[in-house]
């Protein structure tokens, strides 16, 4: 090999190594950026959310408490894990909830909804843990025979805590790697913060026939604007109070025939400069008699983020639904489009079901 060829080969190898290092450092920078966001003084990180927002009714709108078209009560659980391909410790969000209709025999053409929800979220290696406990109350009133108006609120306690022992920051980069052995200027005053939180919302449903059901609602979150920060004093130019978050949803249910019901829906939420829009549809396919067994399948799209296919099954009063977020944003370069998977499990019931009681559903059902 001539000296010129040897030099050319070395240059190619050096360029290849540089590209590999750049790729690694870019990935590290992106992940470090996300961690930095979590520790931003304002700490207004993204709210806990589920792709299956419609299967987490009390976190979608407080007015959904006791808003159960075809049952008297429901108990459910949600689980979501994301970014397992780019995080050694993936983000996990879990919830359990329950709500029920009460005083139906005391209020003319109306009832009270009572419920509660417990949420827990663990974010990455820094173990930014969020726990929330809410109680919900809503009032539901029929308007004529084909409309229902609802107003509700929930109030509760929130705690956020962080373990920084496994985190590194931009000033802990030694030129090759991030090391927590290097001192950092990022010093938190507290590792845990708790506060009271208040939300309110309204819903309206319209069901002109037994084949058509329309529903929409709006809600405002963090009405009391609680302070959320790991720093004891405000930094100049920053406000650590949570900005109010606003949300709205629309959904419909249409009975195509005795075998198929389709359910288009959309959800939008905005807080400060962050927003989310998700829309799609799922269908119910009747596999047995009056819908005791149903196959569920659907597809959703979260704008500028992910495509979300869903599949599930209804077996008598139990509904199980799985979904998967296929990343479509620029993050797919790092997670190979493998975003998040999620499941929900809900049990619907009637108070006197053991007596053979049936409830007339407000939305389309298989008969």
Q: Does domain 10-355 have CATH number 1.10.730.10?
A: no
pLDDT band at 347 (very low <50, low <70, confident <90, very high): very high
How far separated are the first and last CA of the chain, in Å rounded?
83
| pLDDT the model gives residue 367 | 60
What is the pLDDT, as a whole number, of residue 13? Answer: 54
Higher pLDDT, 345 or 14: 345
* Between residues 29 and 87, the one the model is more confident about: 87
The distance from CA 150 to its chain's CA centroid, rounded to whole angstroms, is 23
261 Cβ partners below 8 Å, 6+ apart? 253, 254, 255, 283, 284, 364, 365, 366
Candidate from 35-39, 64-68, 198-202, 224-228 with smallest mean pLDDT: 35-39
Residue 320 above 60 pLDDT? yes
Q: What is the pLDDT of residue 137?
A: 98
> pLDDT value at position 25?
42
- Is residue 140 scored above 80 in pLDDT? yes
What is the pLDDT averaged over residues 292-307?
94
What pLDDT is attached to residue 197? 97
The residue among 323, 319, 241 whose CA lies nearest residue 43 is 241
pLDDT for position 21:
43
| Complete DSSP assignment for 23-67 | HHHHHHHHHHHHHHHHT-TT--PPPP--S-GGG-HHHH-GGGTT-
Mean pLDDT of the chain: 82
The share of the chain scoring above pLDDT 70, in percent, equals 75
**Lowest mean per-residue pLDDT among 45-49, 91-95, 186-190, 232-236:** 45-49
Question: Other C-beta atoms within 10 Å of 319: how many?
Answer: 20
pLDDT digits (tens, 9 = 90+) for 166-207: 677 777 677 777 767 777 767 777 888 999 999 999 999 999
- Is residue 330 predicted with pLDDT exceeding 60? no
Q: What is the pLDDT of residue 86?
A: 57
| C-alpha Rg value of the chain to the nearest Å | 25
DSSP state of 227: B
pLDDT of residue 77: 98
Question: Is there a contact between 327 and 345 (Cβ–Cβ < 8 Å)?
Answer: no
Q: Quick one: pLDDT band at residue 29, thresholds 50, 70, 90?
A: very low
Cβ atoms of 55 and 323 within 8 Å: the answer is no
Burial class (CB in 10 A: 0-12, 13-18, 19+), 175: exposed
Give the pLDDT score at 6. 46
- For residue 210, how many C-alpha atoms fall within 13 Å in the half-sphere facing its CB? 8
Greater confidence, 156 or 173?
Answer: 156
Range with the largest mean pLDDT of 79-88, 265-274, 338-347: 265-274
Kindly report the backbone phi and psi dihedral angles of residue 233, in degrees, each rounded to the nearest multiple of 5, phi listed first: -125, 150
pLDDT tens sequence across 229-284: 887 766 666 778 899 999 999 999 999 998 999 999 999 999 988 999 999 999 99
């Amino acid at each position: 090999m001539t000296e010129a060829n040897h030099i050319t080969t070395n240059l190619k190898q050096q360029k290849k190594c540089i590209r590999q290092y750049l790729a690694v450092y870019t990935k590290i920078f992106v992940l470090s950026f996300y961690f930095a966001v979590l520790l931003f003084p304002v700490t207004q990180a993204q709210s806990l959310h589920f792709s299956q927002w419609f299967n987490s009714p009390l976190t979608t709108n407080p007015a959904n408490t006791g808003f159960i078209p075809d049952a008297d009560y429901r108990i459910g659980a949600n689980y979501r894990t994301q970014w397992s391909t780019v995080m050694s410790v993936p983000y996990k969000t879990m919830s359990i909830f329950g709500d029920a209709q009460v005083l139906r025999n005391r209020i003319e053409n109306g009832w009270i909804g009572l419920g509660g929800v417990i949420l827990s979220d663990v974010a990455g290696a820094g173990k930014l843990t969020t726990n929330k406990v809410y109680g919900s109350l809503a009032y539901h009133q029929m308007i004529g025979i084909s409309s229902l108006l609802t107003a509700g609120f929930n109030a509760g306690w929130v705690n956020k805590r962080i373990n920084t022992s496994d985190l590194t920051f931009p000033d802990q980069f030694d030129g090759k790697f991030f090391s927590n052995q290097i001192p950092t200027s990022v010093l938190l005053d507290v590792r845990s913060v708790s506060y009271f939180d208040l939300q309110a919302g309204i819903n309206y449903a319209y069901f002109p026939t037994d084949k058509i059901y329309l529903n929409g609602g709006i809600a405002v979150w963090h009405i009391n604007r609680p302070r959320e920060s790991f720093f004891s004093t405000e930094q100049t130019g920053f406000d650590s109070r949570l900005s109010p978050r606003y949300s709205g949803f629309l959904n419909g249910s249409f009975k195509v025939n005795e075998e198929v019901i389709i359910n288009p829906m959309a959800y939008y939420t905005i807080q400060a400069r962050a927003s989310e829009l998700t829309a799609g549809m799922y269908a119910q396919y009747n596999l047995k008699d009056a819908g005791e067994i149903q196959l569920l399948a659907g597809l959703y799209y979260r704008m500028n983020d992910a495509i979300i296919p869903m599949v599930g099954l209804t077996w008598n009063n139990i509904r199980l639904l799985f979904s998967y977020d296929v990343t479509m944003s620029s993050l797919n370069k790092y997670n190979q489009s493998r975003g998040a998977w999620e499941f929900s499990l809900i049990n619907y019931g009637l108070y006197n079901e053991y007596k053979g009681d049936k409830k007339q559903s407000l939305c389309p059902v298989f008969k």
